[in-house]
Amino acid sequence: MRRVFFGLEVPFSVKQRLLAVQTDINGARWQGRHQLHLTLAFIGSVDDAGLETLRRAACRVTAPAFELRVQGLGVFGKPDHPRNLWAGISPEHPVIELHERLTDSLSGAGFAQEKRRFRPHITVSRFRRNAGSVASLLDAHGSTGFGAMAVTEFVLYESTPGAGGSVYTVLDRFPLTPSLDETDPSGQ
Protein backbone atom coordinates (compact mmCIF):
# COMPACT_ATOMS: atom_id res chain seq x y z
CA MET A 1 0.00 0.00 0.00
CA ARG A 2 1.14 3.51 -0.78
CA ARG A 3 0.08 6.68 1.02
CA VAL A 4 -0.62 9.28 -1.68
CA PHE A 5 -1.99 12.75 -2.37
CA PHE A 6 -2.26 15.24 -5.24
CA GLY A 7 -0.56 18.61 -5.03
CA LEU A 8 1.31 21.46 -6.65
CA GLU A 9 5.07 21.72 -6.60
CA VAL A 10 6.62 24.92 -5.26
CA PRO A 11 9.56 26.40 -7.20
CA PHE A 12 13.00 26.46 -5.58
CA SER A 13 13.13 30.28 -5.40
CA VAL A 14 9.88 30.41 -3.40
CA LYS A 15 11.03 27.55 -1.17
CA GLN A 16 14.23 29.44 -0.34
CA ARG A 17 12.25 32.51 0.77
CA LEU A 18 9.86 30.40 2.85
CA LEU A 19 12.74 28.56 4.52
CA ALA A 20 14.27 31.92 5.49
CA VAL A 21 11.40 32.63 7.95
CA GLN A 22 12.37 29.67 10.14
CA THR A 23 13.24 30.70 13.66
CA ASP A 24 13.53 29.06 17.05
CA ILE A 25 9.96 28.46 18.26
CA ASN A 26 9.15 25.86 20.88
CA GLY A 27 7.37 22.83 19.38
CA ALA A 28 7.91 23.84 15.74
CA ARG A 29 8.48 21.11 13.17
CA TRP A 30 9.62 23.18 10.19
CA GLN A 31 9.08 21.76 6.74
CA GLY A 32 12.24 21.11 4.78
CA ARG A 33 12.90 22.19 1.22
CA HIS A 34 11.68 18.84 -0.17
CA GLN A 35 8.49 18.95 1.91
CA LEU A 36 7.08 22.32 0.81
CA HIS A 37 4.09 21.86 -1.52
CA LEU A 38 0.43 22.81 -1.87
CA THR A 39 -1.96 19.89 -1.30
CA LEU A 40 -4.90 19.64 -3.71
CA ALA A 41 -6.45 16.37 -2.52
CA PHE A 42 -5.34 13.91 0.16
CA ILE A 43 -6.12 10.30 -0.73
CA GLY A 44 -4.48 8.07 1.90
CA SER A 45 -3.38 4.47 1.41
CA VAL A 46 -4.02 2.74 -1.92
CA ASP A 47 -2.93 -0.52 -3.51
CA ASP A 48 -1.52 -0.81 -7.04
CA ALA A 49 -4.98 -1.14 -8.64
CA GLY A 50 -6.18 1.93 -6.73
CA LEU A 51 -3.11 3.84 -7.86
CA GLU A 52 -3.93 3.11 -11.51
CA THR A 53 -7.54 4.20 -10.95
CA LEU A 54 -6.25 7.46 -9.44
CA ARG A 55 -4.01 8.05 -12.45
CA ARG A 56 -6.88 7.50 -14.89
CA ALA A 57 -9.13 9.87 -12.89
CA ALA A 58 -6.41 12.55 -12.82
CA CYS A 59 -5.85 12.22 -16.59
CA ARG A 60 -9.52 13.20 -17.12
CA VAL A 61 -9.05 16.55 -15.36
CA THR A 62 -8.85 19.53 -17.69
CA ALA A 63 -8.02 22.98 -16.40
CA PRO A 64 -6.07 25.95 -17.70
CA ALA A 65 -2.53 26.72 -16.51
CA PHE A 66 -2.28 29.76 -14.20
CA GLU A 67 0.06 31.94 -12.16
CA LEU A 68 0.07 32.28 -8.37
CA ARG A 69 1.75 34.62 -5.93
CA VAL A 70 2.85 33.17 -2.60
CA GLN A 71 2.17 35.89 -0.08
CA GLY A 72 1.83 36.31 3.65
CA LEU A 73 1.88 33.92 6.58
CA GLY A 74 -1.17 32.68 8.43
CA VAL A 75 -1.95 30.20 11.16
CA PHE A 76 -4.37 27.36 11.83
CA GLY A 77 -5.14 27.59 15.52
CA LYS A 78 -4.36 30.71 17.53
CA PRO A 79 -1.07 32.62 17.17
CA ASP A 80 -0.24 31.81 20.82
CA HIS A 81 -1.14 28.10 20.35
CA PRO A 82 -0.61 27.30 16.64
CA ARG A 83 -1.30 23.97 14.97
CA ASN A 84 0.15 24.94 11.56
CA LEU A 85 1.93 27.96 10.13
CA TRP A 86 1.24 28.44 6.44
CA ALA A 87 1.96 30.69 3.48
CA GLY A 88 -0.99 32.01 1.53
CA ILE A 89 -1.50 32.11 -2.21
CA SER A 90 -3.19 34.59 -4.48
CA PRO A 91 -5.41 34.36 -6.38
CA GLU A 92 -7.11 31.39 -4.72
CA HIS A 93 -9.82 30.92 -7.37
CA PRO A 94 -7.81 28.90 -9.95
CA VAL A 95 -6.50 26.56 -7.23
CA ILE A 96 -10.00 26.03 -5.83
CA GLU A 97 -11.32 25.37 -9.35
CA LEU A 98 -8.55 22.82 -10.01
CA HIS A 99 -9.25 21.18 -6.63
CA GLU A 100 -12.98 20.92 -7.47
CA ARG A 101 -12.35 19.43 -10.91
CA LEU A 102 -9.89 16.93 -9.46
CA THR A 103 -12.11 15.90 -6.54
CA ASP A 104 -15.12 15.53 -8.88
CA SER A 105 -13.11 13.16 -11.07
CA LEU A 106 -11.80 11.27 -8.03
CA SER A 107 -15.29 10.96 -6.54
CA GLY A 108 -16.52 9.59 -9.88
CA ALA A 109 -13.77 6.96 -9.63
CA GLY A 110 -14.92 5.94 -6.14
CA PHE A 111 -12.52 7.92 -3.92
CA ALA A 112 -14.19 9.69 -0.99
CA GLN A 113 -13.06 13.25 -0.35
CA GLU A 114 -12.56 15.24 2.83
CA LYS A 115 -15.65 17.03 4.12
CA ARG A 116 -13.88 20.11 5.46
CA ARG A 117 -13.64 23.21 3.29
CA PHE A 118 -10.58 23.36 1.05
CA ARG A 119 -8.23 26.24 1.95
CA PRO A 120 -5.27 26.45 -0.44
CA HIS A 121 -1.99 27.04 1.42
CA ILE A 122 1.61 25.88 1.74
CA THR A 123 2.37 24.42 5.18
CA VAL A 124 5.59 25.97 6.51
CA SER A 125 5.58 24.39 9.99
CA ARG A 126 3.55 21.99 12.09
CA PHE A 127 3.52 22.33 15.88
CA ARG A 128 3.47 19.98 18.83
CA ARG A 129 1.13 20.60 21.77
CA ASN A 130 3.67 22.70 23.69
CA ALA A 131 3.99 25.16 20.82
CA GLY A 132 5.33 28.65 21.33
CA SER A 133 3.73 31.75 19.88
CA VAL A 134 4.03 32.70 16.20
CA ALA A 135 2.55 36.19 16.74
CA SER A 136 5.87 37.93 15.98
CA LEU A 137 6.29 35.93 12.75
CA LEU A 138 2.76 36.88 11.68
CA ASP A 139 3.50 40.53 12.47
CA ALA A 140 6.75 40.43 10.51
CA HIS A 141 5.54 38.37 7.53
CA GLY A 142 1.76 38.74 7.42
CA SER A 143 1.96 40.33 3.98
CA THR A 144 5.47 39.36 2.82
CA GLY A 145 5.72 38.34 -0.83
CA PHE A 146 7.59 35.05 -1.25
CA GLY A 147 7.49 34.97 -5.05
CA ALA A 148 5.42 33.75 -7.96
CA MET A 149 4.83 30.32 -9.37
CA ALA A 150 3.60 29.24 -12.77
CA VAL A 151 1.25 26.29 -12.37
CA THR A 152 1.41 24.21 -15.55
CA GLU A 153 0.75 20.79 -13.98
CA PHE A 154 -0.33 19.02 -10.83
CA VAL A 155 1.38 15.96 -9.41
CA LEU A 156 0.63 12.71 -7.61
CA TYR A 157 2.88 12.39 -4.56
CA GLU A 158 3.74 9.41 -2.42
CA SER A 159 4.26 10.21 1.27
CA THR A 160 6.70 7.99 3.16
CA PRO A 161 7.33 8.51 6.89
CA GLY A 162 10.94 9.36 7.73
CA ALA A 163 13.03 10.37 10.73
CA GLY A 164 12.97 14.04 9.67
CA GLY A 165 9.28 14.01 8.74
CA SER A 166 7.53 12.65 5.68
CA VAL A 167 9.41 12.25 2.43
CA TYR A 168 7.39 13.23 -0.66
CA THR A 169 8.14 11.55 -3.97
CA VAL A 170 6.50 12.53 -7.27
CA LEU A 171 4.88 9.46 -8.84
CA ASP A 172 3.24 11.14 -11.83
CA ARG A 173 2.63 14.53 -13.46
CA PHE A 174 -0.60 15.76 -15.05
CA PRO A 175 -0.32 18.75 -17.40
CA LEU A 176 -2.77 21.63 -17.43
CA THR A 177 -3.95 23.28 -20.65
CA PRO A 178 -1.47 25.99 -21.74
CA SER A 179 -2.85 29.49 -21.88
CA LEU A 180 -3.30 31.11 -25.30
CA ASP A 181 -0.11 33.18 -25.00
CA GLU A 182 1.89 29.98 -24.35
CA THR A 183 0.50 28.17 -27.39
CA ASP A 184 0.73 31.05 -29.88
CA PRO A 185 3.61 33.51 -29.33
CA SER A 186 2.06 36.00 -31.77
CA GLY A 187 -1.09 36.19 -29.61
CA GLN A 188 -3.32 35.41 -32.62
Residues with catalytic function: 37, 121
Gyration radius of the chain's alpha carbons: 17
Asked if the model's pLDDT at residue 186 lies above 80, the reply is: no
Q: How confident is the model at residue 162 (pLDDT cuts 50, 70, 90)?
A: confident
Instruction: Please answer whether residues 54 and 123 qualify as being in contact, where contact means their C-beta atoms are separated by less than 8 angstroms.
Output: no
* H or E element in which residue 149 lies: strand 145-151
In a 3-state reduction of DSSP, which class is residue 58?
helix
pLDDT at 188: 47
CA distance 130 to 48: 39
CATH superfamily of 2-178: Cyclic phosphodiesterase (3.90.1140.10)
pTM of the model: 0.92
Does residue 152 have a pLDDT over 80?
Answer: yes
- Say if residues 102 and 61 touch (Cβ distance below 8 Å): yes
| Percent over 70 (pLDDT), the chain | 95
